[in-house]
Amino acid sequence: MKRILLLGGVTEALAIARTLGPQHIYSLAGVGRVPTDLTCQVRVGGFGGADGLAQFIHDQSIGLLLDATHPYAAQISQNAATAAQLTGIPCWALRRPAWQPQTGDDWREVSDWAELIEALEPFRRPLFTLGREPLQHLHEIPPEQFWTLRALDVYPGNQRCEVIGARGPFLINDERELFERKQIDVLISKNSGSTATEPKLEVARERGVPVLVLKRPVLVGVDREFGSVGDLVIALSASDLS
Ligand code: NAP
């Protein structure tokens, strides 16, 4: 029986973890909630790069690495692929499909913060849903803009920025109310592909609000890639892992 090391980072990872027995390990970076009701083992915190992860795989006799981290968490995905190669074990990954623009959408892709700031110039009341990165730029907000910034936790804002701490899933009516209350004229988002955060895109569409989409990083290829938890779990049960 192969021992699995599951690298978590998205909601779906928890669903996979719930299918794993006590010999397997679910690993979290430590930025989100740590579940306490799982049958499998749970560990929290970094490994110390690809070499540290390879050492952990060796020490724990791991036979399969499952990468279910966020599509923008490129470092850990790279580390996973490298560590699997170093230790000679397979690496499988859950690669959540990206959202696709629909009729009526005005999406503008940006590659980095500099491009984002340039694209933001014509707007006055942006809603940032990128996580914590904009917090480093609060002192750069132009006088004509007021930012609304949504992150997992509340952080101090300033006179030109309100920070909202909230965790998905987000409901469409709450998103409608937020866009209306804050008079949002542009949405800034990663393309996470998550159903939990998708309603904001629907509201942007309804209101004709443009969306500045931060490009997805190109992730390293691994032995097998799955677009859904269901496909991955089927492949696990069809393999000789348990
Ligand atoms: P990252 O840049 O790819 O990874 C940074 C470091 O965090 C990794 O090198 C690793 O440390 C540690 N790490 C990441 N995932 C881990 C895991 N499952 N178990 C143990 N260590 C882990 O990732 P990030 O963008 O900072 O995101 C951190 C975590 O939050 C990831 O698990 C990611 O899936 C999740 N997340 C990210 C986003 C996002 O937008 N980036 C959104 C939602 C959730 P060592 O090198 O020391 O091993």
Radius of gyration of the chain (CA): 20
Q: Is the CB of 131 under 6 A from ligand 1?
A: yes
| 30 CA → ligand 1 middle, Å | 8
- Kindly report the length of the chain: 242
Instruction: Return the ligand 1 atom nearest residue 69 CA.
Output: 34
C-alpha–C-alpha distance, residues 154 and 172, integer Å: 21
Domain locations in the chain? 4-97+219-240, 107-214
Give the homologous superfamily in CATH for domain 4-97+219-240: NAD(P)-binding Rossmann-like Domain (3.40.50.720)
Instruction: Return the ligand 1 atom nearest residue 190 CA.
Output: 40
CB 65 within 8 A of CB 78: no
| 61 CA → ligand 1 middle, Å | 22
On the 0-12 / 13-18 / 19+ scale of CB atoms within 10 A, 15 is middle
Q: Is the CB of 196 under 6 A from ligand 1?
A: no
Residue 129 predicted with pLDDT over 90: yes
CATH class of the domain whose range is 107-214? alpha beta
Residue 32 predicted with pLDDT over 90: no
Residue 31: pLDDT band (50, 70, 90) is confident
Q: Please give the distance of CA 37 from its chain centroid, rounded to a whole number.
A: 22
Instruction: Return the ligand 1 atom nearest residue 9 CA.
Output: 34
Residue 38 predicted with pLDDT over 90: yes
pTM: 0.94
3-state SS, residue 5: strand
Q: Is the CB of 30 under 6 A from ligand 1?
A: no
Q: What is the tens place of the pLDDT at every residue in 191-240?
A: 999 999 999 999 999 999 999 999 999 999 999 999 999 999 999 998 86
C-alpha–C-alpha distance, residues 131 and 190, integer Å: 9
Q: Is the CB of 217 under 6 A from ligand 1?
A: no
pLDDT at 236: 94
Per-residue pLDDT averaged across 81-88, rounded?
A: 98
Tokens describing residue 106: 């005005």
> Amino acid identity of 191?
N
Domains 4-97+219-240 and 107-214 are alike in CATH topology = yes
> Amino acid identity of 46?
G
Per-residue pLDDT averaged across 21-42, rounded?
A: 95
Q: What is the tens place of the pLDDT at every residue in 48-76?
A: 999 999 999 999 999 999 999 999 999 99
CB 26 within 8 A of CB 13: yes
Strand 62-67's sheet: what is its strand order?
41-44, 25-28, 3-7, 62-67, 91-94, 224-226
3-state SS, residue 175: helix
Per-residue pLDDT averaged across 105-123, rounded?
A: 97
Q: Is the CB of 194 under 6 A from ligand 1?
A: no
